Amino acid sequence: MSPLSVALLSAVVTGTSAAILAWRERPEAGATWLTALLVGQVWWTTFLVFELEAPTLAAKSLWYDVQWIGVVIIPVGWLLFALEYTGRERYVTPRVVAMLLVVPAVTIGVVATGDPWGLVVADREVAATAVGSFLRVDPGTWYYVIAGYTYLLGLFGSIPILQLVSDDARPFRGQSAALIVGTAAPWASSVFHLTGTFPISGLDPTPLAFAVSGVAYLLALSRFRLLTLAPAPRRRARQLVFEHLHDPAFVVGTEGYVIDLNQSAADTFGIDRRSAVGEPAGAIVPRYDDISVEGSDRSPVSIAGPNGRRPYEVTVRCIADGHDRPTGEVVVFHDIGEYLGQQQRLDVLNRVFRHDVRTETNLIYGYADQLRDDPTDEHALDVVKKSASRILDLSERTRTASELFDPMAKSPPPVALDALVEEVTAALRTEFPEANVSVEGDVPAVRVPAVLRAVAESLCSNAVRHNDGESPSVWLGAAADGGWVELSVADDGPGIEEAEREVLKRGTETPLEHGSGLGLWIVKWGVDQVGGSVEFKDREPRGTVVTVSVPVRGDAGR
């Protein structure tokens, strides 16, 4: 064998070893395409050895033409490997692969037909040298097309790899450096050949450089765990974190245009993602003109979305490139409605146990002494019974509130409004047989959040319990319009004091200004939970009309 053939066999050995290692790592990202690249190198090198050892021009020409299969596979394998390896697998689709294979397929087709037009090789002759006898060719037009195509794919594949050279993770730096070396060596050899600067005129030294590539790829696969520790999952994970972030998030460029937004932002604020990208941030991002870089110090902002108005804390973080130059900002909206609601519920429940329960307990304790002295005291006995009843009622309402507004509880499915009203009125008539309960008009056959049941029960119960008449009356009515339901509960009692309405409107209690129980708080919490509203009006000549507005629900939810 010629000295050149012996040198080429070393490239075959290293390339084959690397191809076997890469194939064994399937289905890791990039493993299949790296194997294809290495197989292409081994193919090209092996049949170059056949060419060198062939004795005639015809035989050398045959093995030269066979080499083109490996030549055209290498750049396609490199680009597809680089895309998958760096987490850009969304570009590796059957359509893209088919498009990339068009030029290689044309090349193989021309060569397979004998190249009658001299597109790939215009002329060929045997060149005998000290290192071996090879085929010297005069390139045709298509030869330079496939060369340019090869360099173009090599460039595109090297760009994402080069981005990892300065990565914070040491393994990725080592992997990318080995890959660049393994790719640069044959590419540089090819340039030497095309420019005529290689010492042996007419000989393409690219297969010789595959020995360097094989060693570099073996080092990357073994020392730096090329395929077992690829950056593809990290890139994908970062995309998933942004996409599946529970908080709405927007990416805004330095010129003030929306670059991206996650699905939560689209769902929360009712935004079409496709049409939003490229639009001014002031027209897409809620309250954007009120947002500053010092977003973490800003008071919560109230924003209306498809599910009602909610309070948000806004965080703005600048995005900088590798040279600390600003390239945009990320605007994240943190829904603090649940947090504020939970805090509010804790404050109210604390007041109930500190004030209301303690007051009733003191009454029982005081009148218990009086009953000990006079067991026949009907007034004391009546006070004790009423206080005990109020404590039981508070206990039941507290349990209802805890279960209903538990953030860890599974949301019950929507309920039919007509069935809900029928059940609530039936239960009210059973508990208070002396009350006159009636439903005005037809109840719409729509589905509403399940929390409306507790809201309606609290309103009806309060209407009877706080009515000072001998025969209290309660009227229920419902109407649906534009995706919303209004449920009204009217009574003929003494009405709800203005101070108590203000406490509910303000959302906080003080030692001097607080509600009289939990009933109206359950109404407010339930309505707030589904993004609804509650309204109080005086009824003539006496009583109150409470109207709650909640969205119609066609799917599961509270």
CATH architecture, range 410-551? 2-Layer Sandwich (3.30)
Q: Spell out the per-residue pLDDT of the chain, length 558, in tens.
A: 777 888 889 889 998 999 999 999 888 888 899 999 999 999 999 999 998 888 899 998 999 999 999 999 999 999 999 998 888 888 899 999 999 999 999 999 999 999 889 899 888 888 887 777 788 888 899 999 999 999 999 999 998 888 877 766 677 788 888 888 888 888 888 888 778 777 777 678 888 888 888 888 888 888 777 877 777 777 677 777 888 788 899 999 888 889 889 988 888 888 888 888 888 988 888 888 877 554 444 566 767 666 566 788 888 888 886 677 888 889 998 887 666 666 666 666 666 666 667 777 877 878 787 777 778 778 778 877 877 877 777 677 676 666 666 656 667 788 899 999 999 999 889 988 888 999 998 889 899 988 888 888 888 988 888 888 888 999 999 999 888 999 999 999 888 777 677 766 665 554 434 445 567 777 887 887 787 888 888 888 888 999 999 888 865 444
Joined together, the tokens standing for residue 544 give 């109150």
pLDDT of residue 504: 65
Backbone angles phi, psi at 474, to 5 degrees: -135, 130
**Angle formed by the axes of helices 170-195 and 141-162, to 10°?**
160
The secondary structure element, H or E, covering residue 326 is: strand 326-335
| Boundaries of every domain in the chain | 3-234, 244-335, 410-551
Please state, in angstroms and rounded to a whole number, the distance separating the CA atoms of residues 355 and 55: 107
Identical fold, 3-234 and 410-551: no
Joined together, the tokens standing for residue 157 give 């594949």
In the chain, the amino acid numbered 290 is: D
For 3-234, CATH number? 1.20.1070
CATH architecture, range 244-335? 2-Layer Sandwich (3.30)
Helix (H, G, I), strand (E, B), or coil: what is residue 540? coil
* DSSP symbols for 122-173: EEEEEEEETTEEEEEEEE-HHHHHHHHHHHHHHHHHHHHHHTTTT-SSHHHH
Joined together, the tokens standing for residue 387 give 């206080």
Q: What is the separation, in whole angstroms, between the first and last Cα of the chain?
A: 81
Helix (H, G, I), strand (E, B), or coil: what is residue 248? coil
Joined together, the tokens standing for residue 18 give 């690397």
pLDDT of residue 226: 80
